[in-house]
Structure 1
Amino acid sequence: MLHILSDFLVRKPEGYYCQYGDFYIDALLPVSVDVVSHGHGDHARPGHTTIYCTAVTAAIMRYRYSQQPQSSYRTIDFQHTFQIGPVQLTFIPAGHILGSAQILMEYKGVRYLYTGDYKLQEDETCEPIEIIQADVLITECTFADPEVIHPDPIDEIKKLNDQPFNILLGTYSLGKAQRLTDLINKHCPDRRVLVHHGILPLHRIYDDMGLKKLTYEQYNRREMKVGEPNKVYMVPPMTFNSYIRATKVVRAFASGWKRLQQHNDLSLFISDHVDWNDILFFIKEVKPQEVWTLHGDGRILKQYFDGQLTVRDIY
């Protein structure tokens, strides 16, 4: 009979804490030992004494947090089990962005699986998700709502082919921008991708450490004003918002959030998170005895599985 520890992972001000191994996961404040699922800033922060992560996540953090001592990183390959105290950990590809990992923690015969952010949709710019079985699934709930069903990203990106002007494309700099570049390269071959200087270094990390080369150019103001109207200028959110009065361009922002599609010329629902159907499929495949929720609202999921499966928020 498995004995699931209800306090194996708990919420603290610093982040999610495992007292049985004395480490944190995705801590937002400096801690002694942090295990980082991926390189996005709401999961990967500086100031920790020791950081366990994949090599790509370390490269992203080194770029973003230059003051973090190089000696603090402990890079671990996918599927390679390592030990923190009595807890065994293994990084499993999460399919979210390049280098993103689910974190499998094994303690006294019980398997606890922390997903981090994850997606099931195909994305050739990052490692595809691997689904394993666990006794406790600790899942994000960003879009855990039956009203959120993500469309086919290929159908969405092909909308760019029908536009008569250059496109100002708002996107998150890490992961989404590189995925969009690849989708445009493949499905909008007549479009040239111009990349904002704030996104460019992350494209180069993908080029150096990723699964395929991307085709893009550094942004040049003159290029946007001359020649054929076949450019896609990819910019981070703050820049996108500052160009509210831009003329002779089609404004679009790639996101799974409906609120970010408002006031744009074109909707582009492309998300790097699981939607409702994906979460249900994932739970079915992982076969957990309990589901613990975080990073979003897990109440609808709890109602859906009422009487069938224990679903609760991380305390």
Structure 2
Amino acid sequence: MMRPQDLLRPTPAGLYCPPGDFYIDPVRPVDRAVITHGHSDHARAGHGAVMATPETLAIMAVRYGADFAGRTQAVDYGERTSIGGVEVRLVPAGHVLGSAQAVVSQGGLIMVASGDYKRRRDPTCVAFEPTPCHVFISEATFGLPVFVHPPDTEEIQRLVLSLAQFPERAHLVGAYALGKAQRIIRLLREAGWERPIYVHGAMERLNDLYQASGVPLGPLALATGLKGGALGGEVVIAPPSAIQDRWARRFAEPITAFASGWMGVRARARQRGVELPLVISDHADWPELTRTFDEVAPEEVWITHGREEGLLRWCELAGVRARALRLVGYDEEGEGEQNVLEGAV
């Protein structure tokens, strides 16, 4: 069996496969790229060739234009393909619409680059698929034991309860435009909220894409052209930066909410001036990360970004070899996402 570092290795441009001459989620333009999902820190324009799921390619086209790459190759979940003689297969990651893990195989060695992932149910995307492998490459955004996220249904019920308690006030929910916003909308629908949900204009095209991909969002309306004191008792979803902007002043005594795994850290909620923090994350928390390692049962774990120290120690105690790759260019949960989305959508 070949050595893992001969099949995939970290480089300044990103995770590189020498025998196949391609990169996974490169942070700069390259000749050939495999993209795990559409968030801006993983999916960038300017590559010579891009392979991804059809949904991820559609997201990139919405955000960057139809000519975002020299050529594209759509690959369905589970479909086996070859790049330079290296087998590549995409399996669901459960992060956002179209998100995938890249399963890379050659010479009897199987490596899984999981991208960003979560393990709990999400009504807007296919659930994570554990894939046994020799080397599992994992994020560590919430890689400390203190991060145990509550059920998202409970967090949505807190929002619904606030709407009932303060029917005269608009509820302005900060949520990243790709993935989180659509998930919040679907969770509200499942909680029984049937009224129109108002959205920032930066989310319109991605909402349309989700619905065209078979994710029903119900009645939506743009929160534009409104006079002061508007939308009392209604839900408005906007990029996080917008809820602290002049744009938010048009709404009736707005209650500001923010949906993020970081809202479990009270200091972050206070720092953002969030009145109703909603701990809803599109990343795995500590129990989900360690459960994933148990299920995948790799011989070795590589940790790409986040809080790797806790997971390195967990692997040591579990008798699993582990290393931190410290790849640069990847954000924590959406911390840089809204800036790109607001400019592109």
Return the alpha-carbon distance in structure 2 between the equivalents of residues 76 and 244 of structure 1. 40
8 Å CA contact 2:45, 2:68 repeated in 1: no
* Aligned match of 1:108: 107
- The one-letter amino acid paired with 2:325 is I
Give structure 2 stretches of 5+ with no counterpart.
327-345
Match of 2:209 in 1: 205
Normalization by structure 2: what TM-score?
0.86
Q: CA deviation at 1:3?
A: 4.3
Query: Which position in structure 2 is the counterpart of 1:283?
Result: 293
Q: Secondary structure at the match of 2:7?
A: coil
Contact kept, 8 Å, 1:290 with 1:310, in 2: the verdict is yes
Which residue identity is paired with 2:288? D
- Alpha-carbon distance, 1:113 to partner: 0.5
Counterpart secondary structure, 2:46: coil
2:315 paired with 1:305 = yes
State whether structure 2 residue 258 is matched by structure 1 residue 253.
Answer: yes
Question: In structure 2, which of residues 275, 283, 308 is the aligned counterpart of residue 265 of structure 1?
Answer: 275
Query: Is the Cα–Cα contact under 8 Å of residues 130 and 296 in structure 2 kept in the other structure?
Result: yes
Q: Does 1:90 align with 2:89?
A: yes
Tell me, in whole angstroms, the C-alpha distance in 1 between the residues paired with 2:226 and 2:248.
18
Shift of the 268–21 alpha-carbon distance from structure 1 to 2, 3 Å rule, reads same
Deviation at 1:295, TM superposition (A): 2.0
Distance 1:241 1:54 in 2: 35
Q: Structure 1 8/224 Cα, relative in aligned 2: closer, same or farther at 3 Å? A: farther
Corresponding letter in the other structure for 2:237: M
3-state DSSP of counterpart to 1:199: helix
- RMSD of aligned residue pairs (Cα, Å): 2.0
**2:48 — aligned with what?**
49
1:275-303 deviations in whole A, cap 9, x for unaligned? 00001110111010000001212111111
Give the 3-state SS of the residue equivalent to 2:243 in structure 1. helix
Q: Tell me what 1:60 maps to.
A: 59
Give 1:190 deviation, angstroms: 5.6
State the distance in 1 between where 2:122 and 2:228 align: 28
SS in 2 for 1:306: helix
Closer, same or farther: CA 231–303 of 1 in aligned 2, 3 Å: same
Name the SS of the counterpart of 1:198 in structure 2.
Answer: helix
Match of 2:306 among 274, 279, 296: 296
**Deviation of residue 149 (structure 1)?**
0.5
Q: Which amino acid aligns with 2:31?
A: S
- Kept in 1, the 8 Å contact 2:170–2:230? The answer is no
For 1:147, the equivalent position in structure 2 comes to: 146
Equivalent residue of 1:49, what SS? strand
- Name the structure 2 match of 1:161: 160
Runs of 4+ in 1 over 6 A off after TM superposition: none
Q: Which deviates further from its counterpart, 75-84 or 218-227? A: 218-227
TM norm structure 1: 0.93
Secondary structure of 1:312's counterpart equals: strand
Q: Which moved more, 1:289-298 or 1:39-48?
A: 289-298
- Tell me how far 1:85 sits from its aligned partner: 1.0
Structure 1: 5+ residue stretches without partners: none
* CA apart distance, 1:69: 5.2
Shift of 1:93: 0.6
> Structure 1 21/226 Cα, relative in aligned 2: closer, same or farther at 3 Å?
closer
Describe the shift of the 1:125–1:223 C-alpha distance in structure 2 as closer, same or farther (beyond 3 A): farther
Letter in 2 for 1:24: Y
Deviations 1:209-237 (A, max 9, x none): 1343443222244388457x321111112
> Which residue in the other structure is 2:240 paired with?
237
Q: Conserved in 2, the CA contact under 8 Å of 1:253 and 1:268?
A: yes
With over 3 angstroms needed to count, the CA separation of the structure-2 counterparts of 1:147 and 1:253, relative to structure 1, is same
Distance 1:290 1:181, change over 3 A: same
- State the number of aligned residues: 313
Q: Which residue of 2 aligns with 1:314?
A: 325
Pair 1:21–1:234, CA change in 2 (3 A): same
Counterparts in 2 of 1:7 and 1:314: CA distance versus 1, 3 Å: farther
Tell me the amino acid that sits aligned with residue 126 of structure 2: E
